[in-house]
Amino acid sequence: MPITTCVFDAYGTLFDVAGAARAAAAEPGGESLAAVWPRLAEDWRRKQLEYSWLRAVMGTHCDFWQVTQDGLDWALEAAGLDDAGLRARLLALYETLPAYQEVPAMLERLKSFGRATAILSNGAPGMLAAAVTSAGIGDLLDACLSVESIGVFKPDPRVYRLVTERFGGGAEDVLFVSSNGWDAAAAAAFGFRTAWVNRAGLPCDRLPGRPHHVLSDLTTIPELVCP
């Protein structure tokens, strides 16, 4: 069965989640961040994800922008940084995270092959719109699907169902791409073909569902749907 639709997680997959801390550390006045930004970026991302999972389990949903702020506050405190100006700057930079360098060309190739393309993300609609606009890839996407339409975070199966509801067809028609091993596993368990973009060379998560492809970046995604 040919793949008709390619769907991407946003944060960490299309957009570099370390970009905000990296950029802030390089700016004038960013000296306090310069020595600790890699750890802060890692803590921020980890807490952002943990809080999304825990809120889903607890039934206390809020939008991903609030989760992003909560994760940053934890990371700043852990780094011993009590700076309201730095916090504001990091959040502003997060709204315009850079896309990985291969993203535009990869999406252009998929569109040239006649494939539908979309984002499926925990991100709130405003967050996603800002990131897509900043990266200049809006005309290369057919849809930008947010969990806010159902009020629960990944990996709830209802999130993945948003794709088939939007594009029709079956789960087997979809290639779902994520940099999160747990996300790729959950999407595979749902029935999607999946690609895990494992930039860090991590072990595969021991979860129901396993990614069908493991890649180091997004460059070869078009070959998976149009070999």
**Sequence-ordered strand ranges (E) for the chain:** 5-8, 116-121, 143-146, 174-178, 193-197, 213-215
Residue holding tokens 């916090």?
87
CA atoms of 72 and 76, how far apart (whole Å): 6
What is the identity of the amino acid at 59? G
Report whether pLDDT(31) > 90. Answer: no
When the pLDDT of each residue in the chain is averaged and rounded to a whole number, the result is: 97
Q: Does residue 208 have a cis peptide bond before it, meaning omega lies within 30 degrees of 0?
A: no
H or E element in which residue 121 lies:
strand 116-121
pLDDT for 150-199, tens place per residue? 999 999 999 999 999 999 989 999 999 999 999 999 999 999 999 999 99
Provide CB contacts within 8 A for 157, sequence distance 6+.
Answer: 186, 190
Q: Which two tokens stand for residue 54?
A: 């825990």
Name the band, by pLDDT with cuts 50, 70 and 90, for residue 28: very high
CA atoms of 202 and 208, how far apart (whole Å): 17
What is the identity of the amino acid at 85? G
Name the band, by pLDDT with cuts 50, 70 and 90, for residue 226: confident
Q: Model's pTM, two decimal places? A: 0.96
Instruction: Note the pLDDT of residue 227.
Output: 73
Q: What percent of the chain has pLDDT over 70?
A: 100
H or E element in which residue 194 lies:
strand 193-197
Report whether pLDDT(30) > 90. Answer: no
**Which residues are known to be catalytic?**
9
pLDDT for 92-140, tens place per residue? 999 999 999 999 999 999 999 999 999 999 999 999 999 999 999 999 9
Report whether pLDDT(29) > 90. Answer: no
> Domains in the chain and their CATH numbers?
5-15+98-225 (3.40.50.1000), 19-94 (1.10.150.240)
